[in-house]
Amino acid sequence: MRLVSVVGTRPQLIKAAALLPAIRARHEDVFVDTGQHGDEAMAGAFFGELGLPRPDHSLGIGGGGQGEQTARMLAALEPILLSERPDAVVVYGDTNSTLAGALAAAKVGLPVAHVEAGLRSFDRSMPEEVNRVVADHLSTWLFAPTPTAVANLAAEGIRDGVTLVGDVLQDLAARTAAEVADPAVLIGIEAALRGESAGLRLRPGGYVLATVHRAANRDLTALRAWADLLGALARDRRPVVLPLHPGTLAAVGAAGIKLAPDVHVVGPVGYRTSLALQMHSAAVVTDSGGVQREASWLGVPCLILRDVTEWTEAVAESGGLMVVVGLDAERAQAELARLAPPDDAERIAVDRAAWLDLEPAGAAEAIAEALDSGTPIHRRPEAIGR
């Protein structure tokens, strides 16, 4: 098959790094980067680190409101699809790039393959929830990462084309985890980050890793709440390391919010560094779906800065290591004290890394194999080239 793969954000670059080798071993692929990440330097580093091919089309569409950004992507994607004439369009996850890719394909009569189909937070106030629901209902191939995702699709009347494949991110994490399991990896990371945050010290179990990037956590009330929450968790001997998304950093600056001294803000880090920082931390505090899953595979305590999560199975099967705390600082403090008591945090972190044996999910091969079935009946060739 001839495919067009549409990505646009850092998590999608990671997923594509896991999936594209398997796809390109069987199919022809045209790689499109919408630019939703909004940071070409960050994206460039990821292409190099993850071994991703350079995009065949780079659209450079970052910034703007939800509707404006999606509309610009639609306008840019349609002529690419008409020119490239693929058999199908592959989209990932739940971003505006996902929605635009699915809509553009549907408008010109192309079938859609949705990687990470069926996830639901059941909160339609989240732009991501709207994006994933629409993408699923436009898709011909729906690659579900969990049994719950399959059940969610069935509840919405979607059964045809649904395949339970597992999580492509687990495939990549399994390949990378062994490379960063030695705590000595923190020495190089500390040296690299010290230029951005003087005095930062990284020791196994001696810091908390935080990530915040969701749109819902960029309004003024939310900004103040999670800044206070991270300040409440941070200590001189247990700092919070916060690789901050450029959009979130801009929102913090515009709001005039000052983070606590022991919250060390650094720029976005690469995939390998992110996985290492998670593995050797006392705990992770995040609103990221990808980081939630990675923490669950690594066995790292995870406090989720949202009121709901679409990764319900990860939470339910974590044995209490993953907790939805929202922006409740008092609850976050209590859960961190329970999950990573200071006197035991180093031992727990060292043992966790030493005993980790993460197996791949096999999702990438399962997706590539499912696409071998060829062109589905939903395709309308007469629509191409209109």
The order of strands in the sheet holding 322-324 is 263-266, 240-243, 208-211, 283-286, 302-304, 322-324
In 3D space, the residue among 262, 264, 256 whose CA is nearest the CA of residue 223 turns out to be 256
Among 360, 304, 296, residue whose Cα is nearest residue 332: 304
CB of 328 closer than 8 Å to CB of 335 = no
Count the neighbouring beta carbons within 10 Å of the beta carbon of residue 237: 10
- Longest Cα–Cα distance of the chain, Å, equals 67
Which among 27, 213, 245, 280 is annotated as catalytic? 213
Q: How many CB atoms lie within 10 A of CB 184?
A: 9
Through-space distance between the first and last CA atoms of the chain, rounded to whole angstroms: 21
Q: Active site includes 27?
A: no
CB 278 within 8 Å of CB 300: yes
CA distance 89 to 75: 16
Active site residues: 213
